[in-house]
Amino acid sequence: MFRSFANINYRIWFAGALISNVGGWMQATAQDWVVLTELTDNDATAMGVTMALQFGPPLVLVSLTGWVADRFDRRHILFATQSALLALAIAVGVLLLNDLMTLPMMFGFALGFGIVNAFDAPARQAFVSDMVSTGDTSNAVALNSASFNLARMVGPAVGGLLIVAIGSGWVFIVNAATFLAMLLALMLMRRSLLAPRLKNRNRGGLAAGFRYVWGRSDLRVVFVTVFLIGAFGMNFPIFASTMALEFGAGADGYGVLSSVLAIGSLIGALLAARRDRARVRVVILAAGGFGIAAFVSSAMPTYASYAVTLTFTGFMIVTLLTTANGYVQITTDPALRGRVLALYMAVIMGSTPVGAPIAGWVADTFGPRAAIMLGGTAGFVACAIGVIWVATSGRLRRDENRRFLLTLDETRPLRVIEVDPIEFSDEAAVTTPIRSAKKSEREN
């Protein structure tokens, strides 16, 4: 389960990312609560607009961000993006502490966070492949998700308590300090142990990555599934905050709901780390499981029962996303991985501007339970699309060893054979002659 920890660079990365992720979840909780209660009068639509501005840039800038992730040193990219995010967090914190923040200004900062994250996300995702071997990529992706959700268990609850204790402005300042952990981790990494990365210098740009994805029906199904879940099912800040208000809970109650969601998410990530490789069938089943969990949670009558069901919701959503991320990484041509991952991040993050305002409007007009059911419906639709693909793709066949068991042919991950660099050097390759058999030997 933890085989990627054998790599010292990954251990350093994991520690820095965990600290930074805790701060990120604290800030996300504070930002949502500021928009919902301090800058507006419980306006879920304004919250949806904030999310749209923050998650829209990955979709708009995808042609540039994917090219940057493939063309430049990803470690240097992350230095720049993490430093920019630190500066933005300090600016928001200072404005809040001095009572200068307004809703339009918060919209502007949300857009700023979104632009920086548009460059940060594909570089960060692809950097995992630079730290570990190809065979460990899926495990490393799952452990990254475990770190993310372990932070989600702590960050929102701590953020909610800090909002009550010291104010939302200080939460942004604390998050700015946690970015230093990631910057330190990037500095401490042993560059000699980072895997050499293929640089595709042609001018195919985003079109090359798009053609690659479009040419594979399995990736099309994964991308459509992630889009539907991202647009309508992953609006947890809207769902949890409005449900917290419906149950009469405050900022601390909202933070606890986010942390409870992370318990199931962490379990899903750890189970994904145990699997030998990511499979598209898991993505399809998890979409259906998320639909069921969403409808069950929408019917819960009390705060406690709703919190319990969020555990299952978190488990399904992280199982889906972790498996989808790992599947995309390990089955994609390394020379195109940055662009394909930029498309993936554009789909998952860029879908939010489509769904978040709709979910916010549904929550305002029909109540938060209707918004949650909308997300569950998206899960069922995604699952149905996947089942249709399985039935029509020609990959479903009878198992060779069991007469009554069906199996699905999966796209196998790319395998890299590690060789001795001295024994198989370029000099040896160009000087070793190719010997052919003599005519008499061929006749014998």
Q: What domains does the chain contain, in order, with CATH numbers?
A: 1-192 (1.20.1250.20), 206-398 (1.20.1250.20)
Rounded to an integer, what distance in angstroms lies between the CA atom of residue 393 and that of residue 119? 35
Average pLDDT estimate for 35-51: 83
Q: Residue 42, by phi and psi: left (phi above 0), alpha (psi -120 to 50) or beta?
A: left
- Please check the confidence at residue 67 and state whether its pLDDT lies above 90: no
Which range of 4-18, 62-76, 340-354 scores highest in mean pLDDT? It is 4-18
Q: Given a cut of 60, is residue 438 above it in pLDDT?
A: no
What local confidence, expressed as pLDDT, does residue 187 receive? 92
Q: Identify the band that residue 442 occupies on the pLDDT scale cut at 50, 70 and 90.
A: very low
pLDDT exceeds cutoff 90 at 384: yes
Among 340, 311, 41, CA closest to 218: 340
Backbone φ, ψ for residue 398 (5° rounding): -75, 135
- Name the β-bridge partners of 397: 407
Residue 420 φ/ψ region, left for φ over 0, alpha for ψ in the -120 to 50 degree band, beta for the rest: beta
As a whole number of angstroms, the distance between CA 50 and CA 37 comes to: 14
CA distance 418 to 234: 40
Read off the pLDDT band of 418 (50, 70, 90).
very low
Specify the pLDDT at position 277. 74
349 or 177, greater pLDDT: 177
Structure tokens at 412: 């196998």
Could you give the angle at the alpha carbon of 409 between the alpha carbons of 330 and 283, nearest 5°? 60
Predicted confidence (pLDDT) at residue 130 exceeds the cutoff of 70: yes
- pLDDT, one tens digit per residue, over 305-356 is 999 999 899 899 888 988 888 888 888 877 777 778 778 877 877 677 788 8
Alpha carbon distances (Å) from 429 to 128, 261, 415: 31, 55, 22
Backbone angles phi, psi at 181, to 5 degrees: -65, -40
Most confident of 85-94, 322-331, 400-409: 85-94
Which tens digit of pLDDT belongs to each residue from 208-267?
778 888 888 889 999 999 999 988 988 887 888 888 888 888 777 877 887 788 788 778
For the beta carbon of residue 241, count every other beta carbon within 10 angstroms.
28
The average pLDDT across 179-189 equals: 92
CA-CA distance, 354 to 335, in Å (whole number)?
30
Q: Tell me: pLDDT of 52 over 90.
A: no
Mean pLDDT score of the chain? 81
Residues 6+ apart with CB under 8 A from 180: 86
Q: Could you give the percent of the chain with pLDDT greater than 90?
A: 28
